[in-house]
Structure 1
């Protein structure tokens, strides 16, 4: 059908946000390996009263309709913290964002992208970057490789043809993000085991579990390291105090103390590694529905995850230690400890590490050294407006 048959409306109020989320769920359900997420969690992400991202961003949600039927959606947003960053780090002045992109066909895709671009231009933006839904810390990039297996916790999953439609709208690749698959049951290579053993003999180094009894303090420690370690990375936007508090509250139920590590050097926290059991496994079982009894299945699993594969979404080492031997040693020591616990206590078979920027040679070298393999690739696109 012709592009002029498409009507795009804003989805600002509670009813509109619900329609926006439900449309995304409908598109996701069409994909063979997608995993239904909890609807209430998805609604929170687009609710200005519940997602602290809105504290430093302007967001507009759009729904495309054809003959009254919803046929696509997109979000256009401006992150004011991103505007303050150097352009060399991927964001910077004039950079607007789009995300939550779904479309029935190429004509709908074209109309939605043009609508988001117009909204950004009207607010002085000269460049569009995306998809990023909504924060860079939530769901960055479009899945371009890896549609043949289910996503893990907090990972986007998109049909392959979306890339073609975005590229046909004039977008080029700005950055590629990688995830690595690791056989958790397999021992690390001898060299890595020797590096870990050397670290274990070093009295200056201590690898400890996260302490949930001091959870608020631990969250601040971890995010302090993260903000420092990632501060020069492409696309980095620092967490605000509100986002730190919000992240701590949301992550606490899925945090297992023995799967999350803080590394100390001379008694000072200098590195961390977070690992989440793949909650997508029970979510698939309950179809993403907490009612009437899905919440009970999910709660039981969270209390005692078994045969639970793992995802390492974040790790960091203070910038002062970057490019040092001790930095990689700390990383290997934390990975080794977590791998051992995951295999022995949780019967994990797979682990997934990522996202990793495709030009992050240090992290790619660590992933290669432990015999992990790339299993997903995401792309963030850019276009001059």
Structure 2
């Protein structure tokens, strides 16, 4: 067997190889969706992605006999919360052929980089942030991933566990069909209308930047008690908002105001993955036209709820408890009228009992599980 090289990604050409590798590794998987390469370049660019402003990041390629056979990232997010186990770093973007030696060499390289910078524990995968794609798919390989969700080969989990990594947390993706009404107890409650003082309103595209700022404030407050919570910066949400603006539909994004305070929101995002699955990661020369036609005219049939939250000071009040049900009901009704047939609500931490209780009450069920691993670094 030819010797294996692990080389840092430095040049634009190497970055392109890093991005393209996942398409080749997953070429035989009918449920894999090639990501848009332009979007991946921006996500991995220190000039374009605000995450790099508060994180150190390094990418590597594994090469054997002149052929790329694996990749990995290591990153230290300086905004991540401190750990009782001491400083920790993250790994991510793991993708490799089903070869124990390749996985071992990639992780040894990433771990050495983290240890040299004082980290005592490795945690991941995060691609690149805990506020982006997280976890390795361990259950639910039989369906394609929704927009901004990952998809991994079935062998990857066992390869990572063989290197001493254990479960830190599982996160779930829930699915819900629009073919049926919400469960009767929920339907009965929302048909009474919002309680006095709870007002629902759609996203105002004329005040888009201010609406994004309000969403960021709610998000950082509502999620602050979650495991691993790392604040989302205004620059990060602004960048995401710019990227998503062409596909955001104000009829599918709603805010809840409680006694005049903008206190909650829900975002239903058209499943762009269903529109790009056959574009092979390329928007040129005709990909943009196909994408927009499929999203705006033909419409995809699936939708994802990537973000929902209510400020903590309202969360245990009657109005705060009812807000998520009214938000989902009105956005879901709009989505159903627009022709969407089912949605994914993700991702949800396994110990987020409040959100899981809401999803259970809404009749949603778990259909994908992603695992976050950790390992002490000696």
Tell me, yes or no, whether TM beats 0.5: yes
Which residue of 1 is the match for residue 119 of structure 2?
125
Would you identify which runs of 4 or more consecutive aligned residues in structure 1 move more than 4 Å? none
The structure 2 residue matched to 1:54, chosen from 19, 29, 52, is 52
CA distance in 2, matches of 1:321, 1:304: 39
Which residue of 1 is the match for residue 33 of structure 2?
35
Q: Deviations over 1:298-348 (max 9, x none)?
A: 122333452421100110100112334433311111111111111112x11
Q: Deviations over 1:2-28 (max 9, x none)?
A: 8xx211000022222111111123223
The structure 2 residue matched to 1:7, chosen from 5, 18, 27, is 5
CA change 1:172–1:134 in 2 (3 A) is same
CA distance in 1, matches of 2:90, 2:82: 16
Which residue of 1 is the match for residue 225 of structure 2?
232
What are structure 2's unaligned runs of at least 5 residues? Answer: none
TM-score, length of structure 1 as denominator length: 0.94
Aligned partner of residue 113 in structure 2, secondary structure:
helix
Which residue of 2 is the match for residue 374 of structure 1?
366
TM-score, length of structure 2 as denominator length: 0.96
Aligned partner of residue 152 in structure 2, secondary structure:
coil
Deviates more, 1:184-193 or 1:171-180: 184-193
Q: Deviations over 1:121-175 (max 9, x none)?
A: 0111100001111111221100000110111111100011100011111011001
CA distance in 1, matches of 2:133, 2:53: 18
Partners of 2:270 and 2:300 within 8 A in 1: no
Q: Report the structure, 1 or 2, having the larger helix content.
A: 1
Which residue of 1 is the match for residue 204 of structure 2?
211
The aligned length equals 376
The structure 2 residue matched to 1:298, chosen from 281, 285, 291, is 291
The structure 1 residue matched to 2:108, chosen from 69, 94, 114, is 114
Deviates more, 1:105-114 or 1:29-38: 29-38
The structure 2 residue matched to 1:245, chosen from 238, 244, 257, is 238
Q: Deviations over 1:230-283 (max 9, x none)?
A: 111112111123213212211211110000110011121100001101111110
Q: Deviations over 1:62-115 (max 9, x none)?
A: 000111211100001111111xx2426xxx851110001011111101110111
Aligned partner of residue 182 in structure 1, secondary structure:
strand
Alpha-carbon RMSD across the aligned residues, in angstroms, is 1.5
CA distance in 2, matches of 1:80, 1:55: 9
Partners of 1:199 and 1:329 within 8 A in 2: no
Which residue of 1 is the match for residue 129 of structure 2?
135
What are structure 1's unaligned runs of at least 5 residues? Answer: none
The structure 1 residue matched to 2:83, chosen from 82, 87, 95, is 87
The structure 2 residue matched to 1:148, chosen from 128, 142, 150, is 142
